[in-house]
Amino acid sequence: MSPYLFFLALYSLLLIGVGWWTSRQIHGAGDFFVAGRRLSPGYLFATLLAANIGAGSTVGAAGLGYEFGVSAWWWVGSAGIGSLVLGLTVGPRIWEVANRLGFYTVGDYLEHRYNRTIRGLIALLLWFGTLAILAGQLIAVAWILNIVLGVDKYVGALLGGLVLVAYFTFGGLLTAARVNSVQLIVKLAGFGLTAGFVVLTFDMMGAFPDILAPIGRAHEDAGFRMFFGGDPGRVFGYVVLLVPAFIISPGLLQKIYGARDVAAVRTGGCWNALALMIFACVPALLGMAARTHFPELG
C-alpha cells in the first residue's frame, strides 16, 4: 500500500471519527446549527481560520506569488483585513441579535431584518455561490489525489465529498469546529514545515536573495519586489473584492453564531484576522521560490 494512501485514509477516518464522537453531544437543533452557543475563543478561532485557509488561499495565492511576487500577500491579506472588521464590528452585533432572538441561521436574521422574500432571494444567490465554492474545493481535492495517488479526478472529488458530508452530518457546527481544529493543526504544520524548508534550502545555497530577483516577463518584473506590485489597480481590486466579502460572509457569520459570548467573537475573530495576515506571506513566498527555480512554468 502506498504510504500516501495510508496517511490520507487515516486522516479521513480521523475526521469522521471526530464527527461521530461529537455526535453524542448533539441533543437538538441548537446544538447542531450553533453548537449550543458554547464555542470558546480558541474553537472559534480554529474554525474560522481553517475555513479561510483553503484552495484559493494556498494553491491560488501561491500561483499569484509565482506570477506577481510580493503583492500576492494582498489576496489572503485582504481576507485578514475583512475578518478584522468582522471580529470588531459586525460579528459582535450580529451575535447579540442572534442570541437575544434565538436565531440559528443567517437566513433567520435576514427575515427578521427585512422579510421572507429577501431571505429567499439571498438564499437562492448563496446557493449558486456556495455551489461554485464547493466545486472549487472538491476540484482541489481531486487534483491532489490525482497527483499523489493517480486517482481519477471524478473519483477524488466523490471521495472528498463523502468525507465532508460524513463528518458534518454527525454533529453540525460543533463537529465542524472540532474537525477544523484538527485540520488547522495539519495545515499549519504542513505549511510551516514547507516554508521553513524553502527558507533553509535557499539560505544554505546562498540563493535566498534570488527569490526577490526579477525573472522573466518585464512588465511583471517591474513590481515583483513591490508590496503594492507593478499594478496597484490589481491590488486595489483584491481589496475591493475580498474585504467586504469577509465582513459579511454568511459562512463566517454562521460560525460566529456559535460563540459563547461577545468577548469570544471579538477575541476569536481578531486572532483569525491576525493569523491570516501572517499566513498571507507563506503562499507568496512559496510561489516566488517556485518561480526562482522554475521560471518557465505557464
Closest CA to 33 of 198, 168, 154, 220: 168
Instruction: Tell me what pLDDT residue 293 has.
Output: 77
Q: What pLDDT is stored for residue 234 in this prediction? A: 86
User: What is the model's pLDDT at position 211?
Assistant: 56
Where along the chain do its domains lie? 13-20+28-102+169-293
Strand partners, 259: 39
- Chain-centre distance of CA 199, in angstroms? 24
Q: What is the pLDDT of residues 54-96, one digit of tens each?
A: 878 888 898 888 888 888 999 999 999 999 999 999 999 999 9
Query: From the centroid of its chain, how far is CA 69?
Result: 21
Q: Tens-of-pLDDT digits for all 298 residues of the chain?
A: 678 778 888 888 898 898 889 888 888 889 999 999 999 999 999 999 998 988 788 888 988 888 888 889 999 999 999 999 999 999 999 999 999 999 999 999 999 999 999 999 999 998 888 888 888 888 888 888 888 888 889 888 998 888 888 888 888 899 889 999 998 999 889 888 888 887 777 665 555 555 555 555 444 555 566 777 667 888 899 999 999 999 999 999 999 999 999 999 999 999 999 999 999 999 988 888 888 777 777 6
Query: Cα–Cα distances in Å, from 209 out to 26, 120, 206?
Result: 53, 54, 8
| Location of C-alpha cell 453548537 | 35
Residue 209 has a pLDDT of 56
- The predicted structure's pLDDT at residue 277: 96
Name which of 161, 122, 117 is nearest 138 in CA terms.
161
Nearby residues of 146 by Cβ (< 8 Å), 6 or more positions away: 152, 153, 156
Q: What is the pLDDT of residue 218?
A: 41
> Which distant-in-sequence residues (6+ apart) come within 8 Å of 240 by Cβ?
none
Write down the pLDDT at residue 219: 42
Angle at 40 between CA 34 and CA 45, to 5 degrees: 90
Reading the block at residue 104, the C-alpha cell is: 440559528
What are the cell numbers at 41?
475563543
Tell me the C-alpha distance between 222 and 34, whole Å: 48
For position 149, what pLDDT does the model report?
81
Distance CA 42, CA 39 (A): 8
Name 32's Cβ contacts closer than 8 Å, sequence gap at least 6. 26, 171, 172, 173, 174
In which element (H, E) is residue 160 found?
A: helix 153-205
pLDDT given for residue 58 in this prediction? 83
